[in-house]
Amino acid sequence: METGSPPVRLDLASALGSVTGQPPPVVDCLVDSLVHDSGCAIPASIRSLLNIHYPRVARQTPDSAFTTDTQLYNWCDGAEAVWARVQDIERRANKCFRKHMDEHAWCDVAQLVLQFALDVAGGPDPDFVLEINNVQSQAVDVAFLPQIRKHDGGGLRHVDKRTDFAIAVDIERSSHVHADPEQLFLSPMTDAYTATLPLMCGLEVKRLDGSEEEAQLQLMVWQAAMLAHLDYLRKTGGSPNLPLPPVVAWTVTNHSWKLYVAWKEPGGAVHVMRPFAQSTAASNAGTENAVSIFILLKLWTTLISWFKTHYYSAYQVLLRQARQAQTIIDPPEP
């Protein structure tokens, strides 16, 4: 997709070893916040349960892996309730792995993880509530799809790829800048419902023998479309130089969860990067065992906080300016 419109470049190196230059500061800050203490993810109150159920793993787990942060268990009935949900995710994921189950089964596991993460990170904040949307059958509006060159060299064609899940703001329960979807595109989706939602993050799921390359391509298309939509809001609002926030998404291939961060370069090209070096604890996030699940939950907790403080704030600024510009151009009838 590097020769398409816009060019979409994929970099599998870490942020520190990018082959196509350094990412913008906003991406560095996001990655730093995710990597920081990502290995310190297991609630200290879980330690006794880990000793009982997985004594070998407990012996091999350093003290630095345990955190006194109560966010992961004070929201519900306590440590045992959290442990039960983690064990359920681990059991379901390992069953999918052993039995070579299809993508639908892996999607069920991914949804368990996502719901757990939203329960943990959502808290009591009534102004920012997220929801999970299955968008497997939903198309992206062609106006925002990237294009690639045809095989015969006869011009460009749109790349119509879809993803499995989209995390969005629940606009009925959250503080939101209201705009008329008949006047403005509120998201890049064509579905009657998700077209009205502020989308935060995408997720593409593959089974054990699923193609990681295909998952990457699907996410690259989705992230490019998300950035094209943000750029549309920016231009509609008359602020072409206003910075766009990066767009994040995940691939899930059996147990492995990999994060991708995309941003729009000044010349219009889209850069997609997988930011975690193999040496970081964040690269071990997944569903293979309890430790990797807790690392994954901590990453999601940090990411959801970033959605609220950075991405959603930037989206609302863009939407507010676009709405005001539309009102000036086409004032409402008296």
Nearest-angstrom CA–CA distance, 144 and 215: 19
Higher pLDDT, 282 or 70: 282
113 pLDDT band (50/70/90 cuts)? very high
Element (H, E) at 299: helix 290-306
- Sign (positive or negative) of CA dihedral 173, 174, 177, 180: negative
For 29, list phi and psi in degrees, rounded to 5: -65, -40
**Is the pLDDT score of 275 beyond 90?**
no
Region 262-289 average pLDDT: 88
Each residue of 14-47: b (16+ CB within 10 Å) or e?
bbeebeeeebeebbeebbebbbeebbbbbbebbb
Q: Which residues contact 307 (CB under 8 A, 6 or more apart)?
A: 128, 130, 167, 200, 201
Percent of the chain with pLDDT over 90: 54
Average pLDDT over residues 15-25: 63
More confident residue, 72 or 259: 259
The confidence band for 329, taking pLDDT boundaries of 50, 70 and 90, is low
pLDDT tier, 2 (very low <50, low <70, confident <90, very high otherwise): low
Q: 247, 236 in Cβ contact below 8 A?
A: no
For residue 306, the model assigns a pLDDT of 95
Would the CA dihedral through 8, 144, 234, 248 be positive or negative?
negative
Q: What percent of the chain has pLDDT over 70?
A: 86
Q: What does the alpha-carbon distance between residue 163 and residue 135 come to, in Å, rounded to a whole number?
A: 7
Residue 120 contacts residue 75 (beta carbons within 8 Å)? yes
CA dist 99 and 210 (Å) reads 14
Tokens (6 digits) for 13? 């190196």
Quick one: pLDDT at residue 215? 86
Residue 153 confidence class, pLDDT cut points 50, 70, 90? low
Judged by average pLDDT, the poorest of 65-79, 88-102, 234-248, 250-264 is 65-79
The two three-digit tokens of residue 139, written as one number: 């198309």
Give the lowest-confidence range in 41-45, 120-124, 172-176, 283-287: 120-124
Q: Specify the 3-state DSSP secondary structure of 142.
A: helix
Joined tokens for residue 119? 């329960």
Give residue 6's pLDDT: 85
Longest dimension (CA), the chain: 73
| Model pLDDT, residue 331 | 46
CA distance 186 to 198: 7
pLDDT mean over 31-56: 89
**Cα separation, 250 vs 110, whole angstroms:** 11
What's the mean pLDDT when you consider all of the chain? 87
Domain boundaries, the chain: 8-59+102-324
Structure tokens, 154: 């006869």
Task: Taking residues 100-123, report their average pLDDT.
Answer: 91
Say if residue 161's pLDDT is above 90. no
**Model confidence, pTM:** 0.91
Q: What is the mean predicted confidence (pLDDT) over 118-135? A: 83
C-alpha dist (Å) from residue 192 to 124, 133, 139, 141: 29, 13, 11, 12
pLDDT beyond 50 at 86: yes
Cis peptide leading into 6, omega within 30 of 0? yes
Which residue reads 């703001």 in tokens? 169
Mean pLDDT on 198-214:
85
What is the CA angle 164-205-129, rounded to 5?
55
Asked whether the predicted pLDDT for residue 90 surpasses 80, the reply is yes
- How buried is 167 (Cβ within 10 angstroms: 0-12 exposed, 13-18 middle, 19+ buried)? buried
Among 158, 245, 232, 159, smallest CA distance to 201 is for: 245
Give strand ranges (E) for the chain: 8-11, 42-43, 66-67, 130-134, 147-149, 156-158, 165-169, 199-206, 247-253, 256-264, 270-273
Residue type, position 328, single letter: I
Rounded Cα–Cα distance for residues 96 and 211 (Å): 16
